[in-house]
Structure formats: C-alpha cells, structure tokens
Amino acid sequence: MAYQVIIPAAGQGKRMGAGRNKLFLTLETIPVLIHTLRVFEQDTECSGIILSIHPQDKESFNELLTEYRISKVTHLVHGGKERQDSVYNGVKVIQADGIVLVHDGARPFVTLDTVHELVKAAESSGAAIAAVPVKDTIKKAENLLVSETIERSSLWAVQTPQAFRVSILRKAHEYAVEEQFTGTDDASLVERLPHKVVIIEGDYDNIKLTTPEDMFFAEAILKKRKQLG
C-alpha cells in the first residue's frame, strides 16, 4: 500500500551537544539522516519523502542527497520553531488524501515490517503509532516526592513512525493551531480531535538518537544487525 513520509529534520540537536544538527553525525561513516532516508528510499511502497529542514542546513543536506543518491525527496520544506511546526509545514504540501507517515530523522533503525504494519493499521483505523511496552517502573513525583506508581502494564513508550490518513493529520494540526496546543508527538494532536489511535508494537532497537551515549548504543545496534546478517 502506497504512502508518503514526512521526516522532521529541522532540529538543533542541543542535547547531543555536537555543535550542529545531530543528523549530520555519522554511524559507520554514513550520516544519521542518510541511514533514516535509506529505509524509505529502498521501500517500493514509499511514494515520496517530504523533508523538513532548517534553512541553515539546506545546502549541506542537498549535497548529501546527491552524494548518497537519495531520489525520493519530493519536497524540502522549512522547519519551524517546534517539531510540531516542522511536521505541519510538511502536511501543508500534501495534495491528495491517502496515508502519510511521520518519522523522526533521528530514528535510523526503524524496520520496514513496522512501517508496513502501521500503514495497514492507519488505512483501516485512521491513526496508528509504533510503541514498545515500558520496561522500567514509572512513578509520578513532585519536588522529588513520589505521589503515585503508575501500573506498568498499561504504559507504552511511544516512538515514530506514526501513520495517519492525511485528512485526519491535517485536521489535527489545524485544530492544534486554533487551540494553541503543542504536543510532543503527532498522535497527541489526533487524540484531541478526538480520534482513536491504535498501537502497533514496535522494536526496542528503534531508538531516537538524543544524547551522546545514544551514539554508542547506535553503534552496538549496527554491530548486532551485522552479526545477525
């Protein structure tokens, strides 16, 4: 089933502390963003990539797209102040209805199995997200004083990709602008419509490269994949 993907790549990478957008950092000599783009470049079901970038990165990203022969980027749009703005600028250029995925540039380890399951689920229910069961016990606290232990079996750690019918994602973003709501993921905007969101169990390897130690975890994941062939 065909889908398009919006990839927000317009962040500053502050927590990574690399002094520039972390998506330029390399894993086994290849930039993080290229690892992510290659997943969709090689998927015959992916009909186009909408890349949301900061204007300051435009020239460097364009050079990378040429060097690594990434041919599916149909639109380069400007990112915004928040991730949500960067995604919305991507939503605005989509013409037809259909299925759209939103996937962080900083998650290079997503698998096509997960992508295809999400597309299928979004096709039938309108909105689906990748998530994994939480492994840690999570407590709520104020001023370092525990107020509650949340039943772990009901908790999911949410990732991207998140898949939507285009009309639903567009409506959710328009509504969030109206209500001046900023969420940390796209599904939270869809939930507010309200519209149901289905979970597809993903993979613990699908980490977001956020802080410096994540680069070591990423190298380990690549090594594991090579050993498993």
Please, what is the minimum distance in Å from the beta carbon of residue 213 to ligand CTP?
Answer: 13
- In the three-class reduction of DSSP (H, G, I as helix; E, B as strand; rest coil), residue 132 is classed as strand
Kindly tell me which residue out of 41, 43, 82, 203 binds ligand CTP, with binding defined by CB under 6 A. Answer: 82
H/E stretch holding 67: helix 58-67
Cα separation, 6 vs 94, whole angstroms: 10
The token pair at 16 is 């990574």
Site residues (CB under 5 A) for Mg ion, limited to 4-33: 11
Q: Tell me, what DSSP letter sits at residue 16?
A: G
Please, what is the minimum distance in Å from the beta carbon of residue 137 to Mg ion?
Answer: 26
| Pairing outcome for strands 99-102 and 3-8 | parallel
The residue of the chain with the least Cβ separation from ligand CTP equals 11
Kindly tell me which residue out of 1, 15, 97, 148 binds ligand CTP, with binding defined by CB under 6 A. Answer: 15
8 A C-beta contact, residue 31 and residue 103: no
The token pair at 48 is 């186009």
Interacting span for ligand CTP (CB under 6 A) from 42-50, 79-87, 111-119, 145-153: 79-87
8 binds, among Mg ion, ligand CTP, none (CB under 5 to 8 A by kind): ligand CTP
**Using CB under 6 A as the criterion, which residues of the chain lie in contact with ligand CTP when the complex forms?**
8-15, 22-23, 52, 79-83, 86, 104-106, 208, 210
